[in-house]
Structure 1
Amino acid sequence: MNATTYGLDIAKAVMQVYWVDGETGEVGRRTLRRAQLAAFFANRPAGRIVIEACGSAHYWARTLGSLGHEVRLVHARHVRAYVRGNKNDAADARAIWNAAHQPGLRWVPIKGEQQQAVLALHRVRSQWVKARTQMVNGLRGLLYEFGVVLPGGRQAGLKAIAASRGQLDAALPEPMRALIDGQFEMLGAIERRIEAIEAQLQALQSQFDSARRVRAIPGVGPLGATALAAVLGEDARGYRNGREFAACLGLVPRHTGTGGKVSIGKLSKRGDPYLRTLLMHGARSVIHHARGRSAWLEQMLARRPLNVVVAALANKMARTAWALVAHGREYQVGGIARAA
């Protein structure tokens, strides 16, 4: 007897389940409160539960998987095409069930608690960096209204304020001087928070074997190593190969074709923009600062534009990271990766 497949649409309070009985063909629909969901599936025979990859999907995947069910996550764009009629929870659950039966469907890897915790650190750090940038730009605009023009760049602008503080105090009214003091105090607090999170990530890097492996790749720093380790997991088996991992990060070009003619376009930029940004910055750093470039990189730079080479190197870094984690190998410069 085939296991029953459930389409589960999750939300904060109300969940919707849709399934078809494998023996009778009877359609089942159930609306459940949040507190009822685990108990409902605990009393059902082991089956396959398909959830749209959205908020709290990884939590429910782990919870329902611990009850003996096979849980799969599906990207929202694969579900959207199967929504019939008006959109509501019941229609979404049915669409998830329909999408789950399509051949060749690619699933979203389920993350563990530790993986989500590391990615949460990255997300909060990004929020603080964004807040710091907003405060510096706001301060730059306020001073500009008083005729003070700061040089470009965050550090250069702050250094210019500190260096000419005496002149600014003489030229600015008292409320503005107090405002600058408060903004500098807040910027210092934000800087300390960013440094604390980076110290946590630095410590976590030594705890994850996968992070240690990918850290050896040129262009991958502590941020990139911990982010890659959190996305790939301990064995990277959530992705079939390195090419699929690079494609999931949006590091492959779009293509469209008809009549046997295929046109290659720009980067797809799908998937995680944060990790893609880290890899792109790392690749650009390798190109600009590496002392000894590889022959492959030199040939690429000779015949392709710089930004194309950056994207190609970022793609190669992602595929290399997958290979090191998936096969448990160590990175070797200019050689073949060896088993640990």
Structure 2
Amino acid sequence: MNKKKIIICLGSTGGHIFPGIALADAIKQSSPDYEILFINTLKSNEMLPKLNFNYKIIGINIYGFVGKNILEKIKSIFSLFICICKTLVILKKFKPEIIIGSGGFVWLPVGISSFILNKKIYTIEGNSIPGLANKIISKLSKKIFINFESSLNYFEKSKCFNLGYPIREIEKKREPKKDIDILIIGGSQGSKTLNTRFLDQIEDLLNRLTKEKIKEFTIIHQTGIEDFHRVKKIASRYEAKFDFLKYSPEIFLDNINDYYSRTRLLISRAGASTICETKNCDLINILVPIKNSTNNHQYHNALEMNEKGLAEIWQENDQNLVLTNKIFNLLSKKDKAREILSNKKNQSNDYSAKNIVKEILKDG
């Protein structure tokens, strides 16, 4: 008997890759007879060796459209037509019954090719405001899975299921030990802007901690590869000046669940994956939206979390003192910190991947 087949389409960043892996793992657990193929951008192949990725994958070379200049947009449109042709060949050869995608420009050729061949298409939207690819492919989709209630404003409501955003099983195991005071994560590739803004205010924060007679303070800082040596040099300087400080820059954090479980306060971007991975973790979030994210979606993600009392927001154009005050007050276990931790206890989307897979496979 021939195996049933599913294609999962990945974007180029961790925010698309991690959910794809979560879905594949959930499919294998519930229906081991399915064969899974990933289609992604060639760019995302660079990340996969770090993630214990054990699935078949084909990369296609597509160029983004949104936010590009006129020449780059022409190049993007040209690459889109080429990738539709390539994807049609892949689909005809692999013969999948189901196609799943979570956005990114690569989802356009995959989704369009799937529609041409009359395949069952499923779109996953993790952000409060969808990007161009999901807006288009959602119209061709059988079902749309959303993470934020506000996403309903952009899709056909009858197709939508609010089941959360898929996160890997490994992300959900938590340990009570808290030995990281601050964890900084700038996305899967790091963020030089976030790195710089945090470093701009750190001396003021450390001086305040000195006055409080803090005996030990640990910072883990995921910098990305390009900014690692600069941050490492500055961190060493502060470690020498403040004897209670342990400041450890890292290029990439392999077992992110372990870090989340040990963290008191997380400073991070406001992408869908990070928000969902930490929504019901016992830590305090300060979300720093990317200033130029598509449709300003990270700000709206952060705003919705803040309005639910699940996170604080600090924007890139806010003064350094604002961040220093937020960190110091939240770590001092003041009312706002207690409120966030209390609200998080009522959150539950641990089974998003399983529930999404169940809803997809229900269609046969």
Greater relative CO (CA pairs within 8 A, separation 6+): 2
Instruction: Give the number of the structure whose residues are more often helix, by fraction.
Output: 1
TM-score with structure 1 setting the length: 0.25
Larger radius of gyration: 1
